[in-house]
Amino acid sequence: MLLRAYRFTDKFGVVLLKLSIAFADALLDGLGMLWWTLVGVVGLILRLFWRILRPIVGIFAGIAMFFVRTLRRAGGQTVQAGGNAMVRRAARAEMKAVITEDPLKAQNRTLSAVTLLLVAVLFGVVLWATNPNRAGTTLPPVVAGDLPLAALPTATQPILQNTPVPTATPQPALLGIRGSLAYVVRERGQTDIWGVAIGSRSPFRLTNDPADERDPAWSPDGRRLAFASNKDGNWEIYVLDIGQEEATRLTYDLSYQGAPAWSPDGEWLVYESYQGSNLDIYVMNIAGVLNGSESPIRLPANSDAPDFAPTWSPQSDDGRHIGFVSWRDGNQDIYSFSLDDQSVVNLTQTPTRQEDFPEWSPDGDYIAYSAFDVGLEKVFVTPAAGGRAAQVVAQGRAPAWSPDSRSLVAAVDSIDSGQLVVTPFVESGVSTAIIPVAFGSTAPTWTAQPFPQTLVNSGGLSLGVPAALYIEQEERLSADPPYRLNTIGGVSVETAVLSDRVNDSFIALRERVAEETGVDLLGRLDHAFWEITRPPQPGEPRPNWLQTGRAFAVTRNAIAGFPPPIEVVREDIGVDTYWRVYVRVADDAQSGQLGEPLRHMPWDFASRTQGDVEAYDQGGRLKSAMPSGYYVDLTQLAADYGWSRAAAGNDWRANSSSINYWLFLKPDGLTLYASLREIYAESQLGGFVPTPTFAPAQPTATGGS
């Protein structure tokens, strides 16, 4: 039993020693357990150790007492009482020698001493490891490249600490983009240039002349604005110092000038000019033109086809290229002209898509433009060096770059409003922003320079706002129908009447067209009003808008002649085909004081009957050459007075009666039937009355008893 107790004690001591060493190592590794926790653990270990040793110590004490009693009995039997003290002393000495020499007791004392020493060492380690002021406790710095990011240790914050002072957070680049936009607004039949700060929703006027101003272009320093205007009787180029009410005229020519763009040094302007019956690209030195020492120069890249809408490459390209639109290859493409070797490169080469409004990016790498594509007007970006296909960036027209080349702004129209939509071109570009503007706004241009604060505070120019184009004088009757038909005097047409609710707008439109073109085109119509009983022509719908008194039709045969009085340009919008009608100005006004040259190729309806099979199947084709002369956009003028064009019928390619380029409507939000009810009683409509659709009766819910 003594041997087993010895082995148990020996092994327990070894285990306790190893646990203590491990515990000390853990403390040295920086686990940093709290002082009172360590004291409690050590106390628990000592109590367990004592509970184990206490029985063993009791056993040792019992054995010792047994030997003492045995020796005493033996001494009493062999030595007589009162006479043999020598024997008793000898026996006690022998027993003492036996007990002192017991090896187990000696080892237990040694083990106890070691245990006490170990406990003392542990207490010392605890005191050392938990001392917050001890030196050498700072961990060596960790370099991010030495370990994976996820393995980097995080700093442990103390429980109580002072609130750190906030530091300024750097503003992301996409939120730091600011600057100013200039754009064109058409209001009451007249165009002005407006401005708005990026991030603002409060636009204001930059020009306010009763004539038209358009085609704005910021100078490289953002302090001047070049534009085109007909304020002096014909279209010329002007430059406005922002914040000033007067602009400086740069060109003096009876011909048309427009669409200016700046050179990167701000000393030259490139623009389009109609001279010699052709639309070409010209450049001029601003200082030389103002002092009379130099004249504009025709760009050598010009061809016999129209070249227009120029854009100058930025300083990053050394300003040695000019982009423009041209019809020289039979369709409307974007080209680049080198001022060094005078070479011309077609950048788009898309025979089925007509590109327009090119804009060189400030970093010189890209050219943005817009074009109709599968029924939608989209913004494209193509590399300025060519060689790669263009990419679609957004929906909209007439795009402009942000000063840092990271974003694009374009004009987008909804049903009854307009927006300037800013779209990121790269990931670091400005977040998508929408600036509400007037319906039909276009031609935005962007500079990093803010508007003068005095101009912003004043709200821009407020004078010269055009008056209403017409006043519709209508009388609502107490009878049914509530409105009557009214005459449109002086118009040559079978029935010269329109609804009392639209006749004044037509009369005002007729006068405006005659003023703008020198020709009374609307003084002679094919149709103005049809009686409800009139049978339609083959392919014409029944009922027809001409039966509502809210439609008129110009002369169809006006597309014939040499030159024809009108030209018609095809526009596919959504799933429908529409037509834009241009009226040729009077022959005695073809010097530039009225209208402007055509940029979009008209549609040739006559080609359907000239043996061209493809033209026959497609309802015609583009004309082979741009008609010369000056024209006025009748479709735009009609829209100014509330008249919209009609869409072609789905069968227009095969049915000439449904082409509808001649038809203009003024529904004012009414359906065709509601328009009929304004001038007809329901009893007069006959088969035109919509038939009610009856729904099956719903079963009646009954309660049970």
Sorted by where each begins, the domain ranges of the chain are 2-76+93-126, 185-458, 485-688
- Give residue 451's identity as a one-letter amino acid code: F
pLDDT at position 295, please? 93
Q: What is the distance between the alpha carbons of residues 387 and 560, in angstroms, rounded to a whole number? A: 42
Number of H helices, E strands in the chain: 12, 35
Inter-CA distances, 546 with 188, 541, 566, 641, Å: 26, 10, 22, 18
pLDDT at position 50, please? 56
Backbone φ and ψ of 224, nearest 5°? -130, 155
Among 141, 174, 240, CA closest to 431:
174
Which of 265-293 are b and which e, b meaning 16 or more Cβ less than 10 Å from the residue's Cβ?
eeebbbbbbbbeebbbbbbbbbeebeeee
Q: What is the distance between the alpha carbons of residues 232 and 247, in angstroms, rounded to a whole number? A: 12
Superfamily of the domain at 185-458? TolB, C-terminal domain (2.120.10.30)
Among 425, 420, 642, CA closest to 550:
642
pLDDT at position 52, please? 60
pLDDT at position 81, please? 42
Find where tokens 């109590």 sit. 47
Are the C-beta atoms of residues 443 and 411 closer than 8 Å to each other?
yes
Tokens coding 80: 């007589």
Q: What is the pLDDT of residues 652-671, one digit of tens each?
A: 999 999 999 999 999 999 99
pLDDT at position 537, please? 75
355-360: strand order across its sheet: 355-360, 366-373, 376-383, 391-395
Q: Count Cα atoms within 13 angstroms, Cβ side, for 484.
A: 9
Rg (CA), the chain: 49
pLDDT at position 430, please? 62
Are the C-beta atoms of residues 383 and 336 closer than 8 Å to each other?
no
Helix (H, G, I), strand (E, B) or coil at 145: helix
User: What kind and span of H or E run contains 674?
Assistant: helix 672-679
Q: What is the distance between the alpha carbons of residues 377 and 584, in angstroms, rounded to a whole number? A: 27
Among 475, 499, 542, 470, CA closest to 675:
499
Q: How many CB atoms lie within 10 A of CB 65?
A: 10
Tokens coding 470: 């017409």
Backbone φ and ψ of 104, nearest 5°? -65, -40
Q: What is the distance between the alpha carbons of residues 552 and 267, in angstroms, rounded to a whole number? A: 51
Among 484, 489, 481, CA closest to 549:
484
Q: What is the pLDDT of residues 457-515, one digit of tens each?
A: 887 766 555 689 999 999 999 999 999 999 999 999 999 999 999 999 999 999 999 99
Helix (H, G, I), strand (E, B) or coil at 20: helix
Q: What is the distance between the alpha carbons of residues 239 and 218, in angstroms, rounded to a whole number? A: 10
Helix (H, G, I), strand (E, B) or coil at 183: strand
Tokens coding 496: 């010269």
Q: Count Cα atoms within 13 angstroms, Cβ side, for 202.
A: 7
Among 383, 378, 385, CA closest to 366:
383
User: What kind and span of H or E run contains 272?
Assistant: strand 268-275
Q: What is the distance between the alpha carbons of residues 597 and 329, in angstroms, rounded to a whole number? A: 19
pLDDT at position 433, please? 82
Q: What is the distance between the alpha carbons of residues 152 and 157, in angstroms, rounded to a whole number? A: 16
Are the C-beta atoms of residues 91 and 71 closer than 8 Å to each other?
yes
pLDDT at position 34, please? 43
Query: Which residue stretches of 357-404 are H helix?
Result: none
pLDDT at position 559, please? 97
Among 645, 485, 640, CA closest to 553:
645
Counting as low any pLDDT under 50, the low residues of the chain are: 1-6, 8, 14-15, 24, 26-37, 39, 68, 71-72, 74-88, 90-101, 125-126, 129-130, 132-176, 693-705
Find where tokens 């938990």 sit. 130
